[in-house]
Amino acid sequence: MSKGYRREGPNGAIVVDCPYCGSRAKRVGGDVIYPHRRDLAKKHFYLCENGHDRAYVGCHPRTIIPLGRLADAKLRADKSAAHAAFDPIWREHKFMKRTDAYKWLSEQLNIDREHCHIGMFDRVTCRRVVETANNYLEDMGVDLPEAFD
């Protein structure tokens, strides 16, 4: 089964494709990504810097299963912004339960619920999350912080 960023190679091995250059990402230790974070040294990451900005993704705890697609610094910033806009809907304000909030988001973005994870989104989709979430929060009477860009 393909999840867009991960596929099964020969012998059932996990193969992670780089969305920036299309080549196969390397699996590396946390020491390569965060040399100063000893606590992360044993974690697994997928990395590619094949003619483009360094892009990587971490793995689910104690596995070599990637959390999403590889992201460069710009996409990581956009994903943080998407979470910062979207998470308050279910976390702080509790307007919806978390699962309902993701279902709502998938409908707003017209993305299958199964593929509706911020970790899988590209920069354009992350920006749509921010816009959609901010519109919703405004409609609900929430004072949003000043926009910045």
The residues, any chain, with a CB within 8 Å of residue 41's CB and separated by 6 or more, are 29, 30, 31
Question: Whole-number minimum distance, CB 61 to Zn ion, in Å?
Answer: 25
21 binds Zn ion, rule: CB under 5 A: yes
User: Alpha helix locations (H) across the chain?
Assistant: 30-33, 73-90, 98-109, 123-139
Is the Cβ–Cβ distance between 78 and 68 less than 8 Å?
Answer: no
How near is the Cβ of 102 to Zn ion at its closest, in Å? 28
Nearest C-alpha neighbor of 64 from the set 16, 114, 99 = 16
Q: Is 18 in the site for Zn ion (CB under 5 A)?
A: yes
Choose one: 20-28, 61-69, 75-83, 113-121; the region binding Zn ion (CB under 5 A): 20-28
In the list 16, 33, 47, 48, the residue contacting Zn ion (rule: CB under 5 A) is 48
Among positions 113-132, residues that touch Zn ion (CB under 5 A) are none
By CB under 5 A, name the one of 5, 16, 17, 20 that touches Zn ion: 20
CA distance 143 to 137: 8
Cβ contact 45:56 at 8 Å: yes
| Least distance from Zn ion to the Cβ atom of residue 82, Å | 22
57 is a site residue for Zn ion (CB under 5 A): no
Binding residues for Zn ion, rule: CB under 5 A, are 18, 20-21, 48, 50
